[in-house]
Amino acid sequence: MKKTALITGITGQDGSYLAELLLAQGYRVVGMTRRTSTDVHERIQHIVDDIEFVSGDLLDQTSMTSIVADVMPDEIYNLAAQSFVPTSWQQPVLTGEFTALGVTRVLEAVRATNPKIRFYQASSSEMFGKVTEVPQRESTPFYPRSPYGVAKVYGHWITVNYRESYDMFAVSGILFNHESPRRGKEFVTRKISDGVARIKLGLANRLALGNLDAQRDWGFAGDYVRAMWLMLQQDVPDDYVVATGRTHRVRDFVRIAFEAAGLGSFEKYVVQDPRFMRPAEVDLLIGDPTKAHEQLGWKPDVSFEQLVEMMVRADIDRLSARAGA
Ligand code: NAP
Ligand code: G4F
């Protein structure tokens, strides 16, 4: 029997990789998108004919409930969110509506329609914030440092609560930063790879960044969606940290990116701009993925260095093709 998966946030970075993975496994993939006046299918253009689309919004309970009732999925991956941390200070209420209460709306739709549906919540290492333990594992207490982080803590606990209250197969994947050539250009890794490519091709001569000392545990998004799927294939629902177990400073990403493009030392190109500093920073994230390794059999394939090189190469190729067109 062909399984059906409903993905919220299918137009995002993770949604695109997850849709590819599920289609390759023979799933019927249904993607929920919000109504827009322009095409938002850029990341899934290559598989758009293989996906069924339904129109809905995490802000709207009615659409969520009728989508779940109509689609009757076996699995739901709730990836939709306002996911950019700086925007969460500018739009804290909306971030709470999408990223926190939106989770309850999907869970309520599941509970009311068919509590047997398996539910995945996209939780985040941002919940650890001002970390109380190094490395961070499933039992590490949360100390979020942004309205986004606070909203994700709510999303995490409401998922645990529905599992415990209603015996639902609801799991929370606590994913550390994961990147790819499909990452939004506002996030630091893609901003760097795009900026380096522009400098390489003579389209720019400097790159303005914020805090170069922040440390993140960066992996490849294509590896991380495998962990999401594995979590929903277990006998017992549980929560998992998904990370590489290595951390690097933003400065390291910058250095390797400039080297990968053959531009040498980054110092003459990079300027620090206070506009990109945050009111409260998450200084250090490093995850302990032991539980995911042991119980899910999950391991990342792509190293940090390969990730940086992949992203720089993709942006150079993309911009070169555009210049040649
Ligand atoms: P992303 O590229 O920003 O994608 C977010 C998706 O959410 C987009 O498809 C967006 O649709 C959709 N969305 C936003 N608000 C919505 C709403 N009100 N109703 C319906 N859809 C809505 O994010 P991502 O990097 O793929 O991340 C996926 C999820 O994992 C997010 O929940 C994020 O917070 C979480 N997460 C990400 C990371 C990471 O490092 N990438 C780490 C931990 C957790 P539009 O195209 O219409 O904007
Ligand atoms: O790339 P970032 O914007 O990602 P951040 O804030 O870590 O959040 C991402 O990962 C989370 C998982 O931990 C997700 F939940 C979340 O949805 C998102 O995907 O910033 C990374 C670091 C920060 O410390 C920031 O201060 O890079 C630093 N940074 C330095 N200069 C910058 C810049 N970040 C951005 N976006 N732009 C800069 O110019």
Output the domain CATH number for residue 226. 3.40.50.720
Same domain, 314 and 203: yes
Same domain as 306, residue 201: yes
Predicted local distance difference test score (pLDDT) of residue 7: 98
Among residues 148, 154, 224, 240, the one annotated as catalytic is 148
Structural domain includes residue 293: no
pLDDT of residue 39: 86
CA 277-253-223 angle, to 5 degrees, is 110
Do residue 132 and residue 261 come from a single domain?
Answer: no
Mean pLDDT of 103-120: 98
Are residue 166 and residue 22 in the same domain, yes or no? yes
Q: Which of 77, 120, 126, 172 is catalytic?
A: 126
CATH number of the domain enclosing 206:
3.90.25.10
Closest ligand 2 atom, residue 85 Cα: 6
| Residue 294: inside a domain | no
Mean pLDDT of 230-245: 98
Nearest to 184 by CA among 12, 20, 35: 12
In a domain, 40, yes or no: yes
Check pocket membership of 122 for ligand 1, CB cut-off 6 A. Answer: yes
- My answer on whether 193 and 102 are in the same domain is no
Phi-psi region of 245 (alpha: psi -120 to 50; beta: other; left: phi over 0): left
For 146-175, the pLDDT digits (tens) are 999 999 999 999 999 999 999 999 999 999
**Count: domains in the chain:** 2
98 lines ligand 2 (CB under 6 A): no
Decide if 123 is catalytic.
Answer: no
CB burial of 116-155 (b: ≥16 within 10 Å; e: otherwise) equals ebbbbbbbbbbbbbebeeebbbeebebebbbbbbbbbbbb
CA atoms in the 13 A half-sphere facing the CB of 42:
8
pLDDT at 40: 86
Do 170 and 64 fall into the same domain? yes
Helix runs in the chain, H state only: 13-24, 61-71, 85-90, 92-95, 102-113, 147-166, 188-200, 221-231, 250-260, 290-291, 304-324
Question: Quick check: 285 and 176 in contact, CB under 8 A?
Answer: yes
By the 8 A CB rule, do 188 and 182 touch?
no
134, HSE (Cβ side, Cα atoms, 13 Å): 11
Q: Please indicate whether residue 187, judged by its CB atom, sits closer than 6 Å to ligand 2.
A: yes
Q: In angstroms, what is the span from residue 206 Cα to ligand 1's centroid?
A: 29
Task: Give the active site residue among 16, 83, 88, 124.
Answer: 124
Per the CB < 8 A criterion, the answer to whether 84 and 186 are in contact is yes
180 is catalytic: no
Residue 320 has pLDDT above 80, yes or no: yes
- Ligand 2 atom 37: residue of nearest CA: 188
| Mutational pocket test of ligand 1: of 13, 83, 123, 179, the residue with most ligand atoms within 8 Å of the beta carbon | 83
Q: Cα–Cα distances in Å, from 158 out to 51, 106, 261, 292?
A: 29, 11, 44, 22
* Ligand 1 close to Cβ of residue 266 (< 6 A): no
User: And the tokens for 36?
Assistant: 């827009």
Residue 296: inside a domain: no
* Average pLDDT along the chain: 98
**Within its chain, how far is the Cα of 278 from the centroid?**
20
Statement to judge: residues 252 and 173 lie in one domain:
no
pLDDT, average across residues 287-302 = 98
Range of the domain at 193: 182-216+247-284+301-320
Q: Are residues 153 and 194 in the same domain?
A: no
Same domain, 124 and 148: yes
- As given in the structure block, the two tokens for residue 198 are 């522009």
104 lines ligand 1 (CB under 6 A): no
Catalytic (active site) residue 126? yes
Among all ligands shown, which has an atom nearest to the Cα of 82?
1
